[in-house]
Structure 1
Amino acid sequence: MSDQGQPAQEGLSKKERREIKRLEKQKFQASNERRTNFKKGLKWLVVILVVAGIGYLGFRSGWFSGAPDYGEPVIFAEQFEIQGQAHINIGSEHPPYNSNPPSSGWHYEDPAPWGFYDKELPDEQLVHNLEHGGIWIAYRPDLDKNLVEQIKKTAEYFKRRIIMEPRAANDSDIALVAWGWVDKFSASEFTEKRLVDFINRFIDQGPEKIPF
């Protein structure tokens, strides 16, 4: 080895020395190119993660729901004490709920598929949907059909985590329910803003976080 740490080149022809220098230059350039590509790839990965994170938060918060912007939200809901998250067998008896419709407490093991129903589902099943951050829209079976369609059309802006059903036990025309919260009102008090504000405020606020 020479004093500079380079391999001794005594006895090599000029052509051989030029070839060695060329190969060393190629090796140096390839190393620089790998470092540059790695840095570029890392930057793009950060950008993708940031965009994906913003998209996920927007999806969860309702930014991309398609619902109109009604301005400053107004919440009429009443908060109720949480009655636990106990699972019970189908048909089992349990203590009374503290709200109508119930907003927490005893529930069946399997939640209902999200969607819009024209038949009544068990309260104990839908409480499980609330636990997963869903919104339960319950209306009296004799509610005006045009109003039912208007409520459904408004709720469809959100495309997820919505359960809507007729419910004979309602003590109001319409009830909006989330985990620990209930907003009850008459047909004449319904506005799209009231429904949208409630969903935006309480969707995904259940104690169990699930992806969809």
Structure 2
Amino acid sequence: MDKFVLWIVLGTVVLLGGLVWVSSQDPTKQPPVGQEIEILGREHIPRGSEHPAYNSNPPTSGWHDAEDAAEKIYDEPILDEQAIHSLEHGRVWVTYRPESVDEATRGEFESVIRPFLSKALLSPRPANDHAIAAVSWGRIQTWETWNDQTKTELKLFLERNRDRGPERVP
């Protein structure tokens, strides 16, 4: 009987330790990275409607389309207003100025983003102020060059900033 109780206690300790470890691996339990940007709201607007200027480039919140952008790798620019709706759902949007990025670098972006593709989108965006930008709801991080440090920082942004929008969508 004493061995039985010992096994129950030991099993409970292992189970609780495992649960603590699993919860510590949740990236949303870690602080987000990137520069914090003031939230402009969550208002849906008809496609093509005029609206005030956004407070970041690319935008991280604000007026947006009723339809979100699909999580995928795009060859063409997408509407900011659709991407913002995706950010509201907790997605991360990675953008780049097409003239600043060659095909090899774009391929490296894709290799970094693919493991996160259920929670991220990649698109060219000629209007970017910087060569490369990653945005999530209320956060932005930018880079001028692609190198090992950029790759590491982008991966961290994807890990820490996904699933942080005000609407939780699986």
For the superposition of Structure 1 and Structure 2, which TM-score range results when normalised by the shorter chain? 0.7 to 0.9
Shift of 1:188: 4.2
Superposed, 1:117-136 pairs within 5 Å as 117-136=74-93
Residue type of the alignment partner of 1:209? R
Q: What is the DSSP-based 3-state SS (H/G/I as helix, E as strand, rest coil) of the residue aligned with 1:99?
A: coil
**Partner of residue 203, structure 1:** 162
TM superposition shift of 1:187: 1.6
Q: Letter of the 1:84 partner, please give it.
A: G
- CA RMSD in angstroms comes to 2.4
Q: Which amino acid aligns with 1:206?
A: G
Number of the residue aligned with 1:43:
none
Residues 1:173 and 2:131 are matched in the alignment: yes
Match of 1:12 in 2: none
Instruction: Report deviation, 1:74.
Output: 9.8
| Matched AA of 2:57 | N
Q: Which has the larger radius of gyration?
A: 1
Q: Deviations over 1:36-87 (max 9, x none)?
A: xxxxxxxxxxx9xx99xx69x96x749xxxxxxxxxx994x21110000000
Per-residue displacement from partner, 1:90-115 (whole Å, max 9, x unpaired)?
00000000000000000000101110
Equivalences, count: 148
- Aligned equivalents of 2:39, 2:157: Cα separation in 1: 19
Structure 1 alignment gaps of length 5 or more: 1-46, 63-72
Normalising to structure 2: TM-score of the pair?
0.79
**Cα separation, partners in 2 of 1:91 and 1:147, compared to 1, 3 Å:** same
Asked whether the equivalents of residues 105 and 146 of structure 2 are also in contact (C-alpha less than 8 Å), the reply is no
* Identity rate, percent: 39
Q: Are 1:74 and 1:197, in contact at CA under 8 Å, matched by a contact in 2?
A: no
Structure 1 residues 128 and 192: alpha-carbon distance in aligned structure 2, compared to 1, 3 A threshold: same
Counterpart residue type for residue 197 of structure 1: L
Instruction: Name the TM-score, length of structure 1 as normaliser.
Output: 0.64
What SS does the corresponding residue of 1:88 show, helix, strand or coil? Answer: coil
User: What are structure 2's unaligned runs of at least 5 residues?
Assistant: 1-14
CA gap of 1:105–1:129, structure 2 versus 1, over 3 A, is same
Q: Report the CA distance shift for 1:74/1:191 in structure 2 as closer, same or farther (over 3 A).
A: farther
Which shifted more, 194-203 or 81-90?
194-203
Change over 3 Å in CA distance of 1:150–1:110 after alignment to 2: same
